[in-house]
Amino acid sequence: MSSSLAISKRLIYLIEQINEWTGKSVAWLTLAMVLTTFAIVILRYTFDIGWIAVQESVAYMHALVFMLGAGYTLKHDGHVRVDIFYQRCSVKTKAWVDCLGALLLLLPVSVFIIWSSWDYVADSWHIQEGSRNSGGLPGLYLLKSSIIVMAFLLILQGFALFLRNLLTAIGYQEETQ
């Protein structure tokens, strides 16, 4: 095995481990959302108690699950795919299609997301933006930062996807799986 192949495989592994860990970690927020929502309902309708911050926390958790779980979803091929011709293609053709998709769509869109949201997130950090609601959660700027983190995780996973499919396309498929 050449050293560049070994380095590529190691890089793919490291990137995928980052997204695997991130995805599995934020998946626990779904349980927290269910329990928090259950508590909100019980408190509201049994004891007539409500807290804006607790209600907002469900929205924050929901946003984090989707934003930080995007790279994990991409890693596990769980994204939506309009599959008209792809399913009939050979493994190598699929690998080339995925390479081009990562290179021409995923990576540029992810870079654009970072570029276009940078000032939005920076402005939020500058004013230490919190909830607009009285009694809401502080730290909205932290939640907005997840936009950039999501795009960065997608860039990492897109790079790993590109490398993995490139290795498959040039004939190293059994070694990269």
> What rounded mean pLDDT belongs to the chain?
92
Residues 14 and 157 sit within 8 Å (Cβ to Cβ): no
Q: How many residues does the chain have?
A: 177
Tell me the two tokens of residue 122: 């920076």
Q: Domain tally for the chain?
A: 1
| Closest to 50 in 3D by CA, of 160, 133, 119, 150 | 133
25-39 pLDDT per residue, tens: 999 999 999 999 999
Task: Kindly list the distances between the CA atom of residue 165 and the CA atoms of 9, 10, 19, 62, in Å, as whole numbers in the listed order.
Answer: 11, 15, 17, 31
Beta strand segments in 56-106, E: none
Give φ, ψ of 81 to 5 degrees: -130, 125
136-169 pLDDT per residue, tens: 999 999 999 999 999 999 999 999 999 999 999 9
In angstroms, the CA 99 to CA 173 distance is 14
Q: What's the domain range around 139?
A: 3-176
More confident residue, 80 or 6: 6
Confidence of residue 21 (pLDDT cuts 50, 70, 90): very high
The answer, yes or no, to whether residue 69 has pLDDT greater than 50, is yes
In angstroms, the CA 56 to CA 142 distance is 14
